[in-house]
A and B are shown apart, each in its own frame.
Chain A
């Protein structure tokens, strides 16, 4: 069965960087786009960006473009995200999610369990 398993919770100080991983299994990793979405406490969903493992092509939401990077490791079927220059506003649960259809679809049918990132001095 399809599974996306994310790395564990992180606590970071303002100005630091955080790395979160999303390990996939149960499907052909390279041909399904992975999207990162975050959710601040008590707030709604916010799109951050997506990446296609096959060729590393990606799109970043303008809000995060200068401090957010996504990478993939096809040998381990893992997608990584790094968010830099953290502030308290980045405190959120970060989700990775897979497209429902290979290559391209906007809807996400499988989600990771979420990773809580807390930014606090």
Chain B
């Protein structure tokens, strides 16, 4: 059971926009800790996409964007492409646990 909650899967046709939610609680996102997003292709290490809620990591396409509200965050992928098919994870810090916490991951399918 992951501390942060993500939908198991989302899908969209090429060119469409998909959004992935990440919901936390009062000791992590709700406490103001930043949210970060990673993309993981099958068999590969995770890759940082978005850091501190809405900042794109170096070399990341501007089709990826992040946003947050008091207890949740979202990753949006616009102009969906076949290469975006991957697992996406959100990450934050939890002050009760004293360490990093992750969402369970969301698989994005490009139809």
Contacts and interface: CB of A to CB of B under 8 A. Distances in A.
A100 B98 CA distance: 19
A47 interface: yes
B60 to A, nearest CB: 11
Interface residues of B, number: 26
Interface in A93-117: 95, 97, 100, 105-109, 111-114
Nearest to B34: A106
B18 interface: no
A61 B97 contact: yes
Nearest to B92: A106
B57 interface: yes
Contacts of A50: 99
B64 interface: no
Name, among B48, B89, B92, the residue most crowded by chain A CB atoms within 10 Å (CB to CB). B48
A62 interface: yes
Contact of A44 (B36, B89, B100): B89
B99 A47 contact: yes
Contacts of B103: 44
Interface string B72-106: 00000000000000000101110001111111110
B46 interface: yes
Contact of B91 (A95, A106, A112): A106
B48 A108 contact: yes
Contact of B99 (A61, A105, A108, A112): A61
A95 B45 contact: yes
A109 B89 contact: no
Nearest to B33: A106
15 contacts: A35-B100, A44-B89, A45-B38, A46-B102, A47-B102, A61-B99, A95-B46, A97-B46, A100-B48, A106-B36, A106-B92, A107-B52, A108-B46, A108-B48, A111-B45
Nearest to A46: B102
A100 B57 CA distance: 10
A67 interface: no
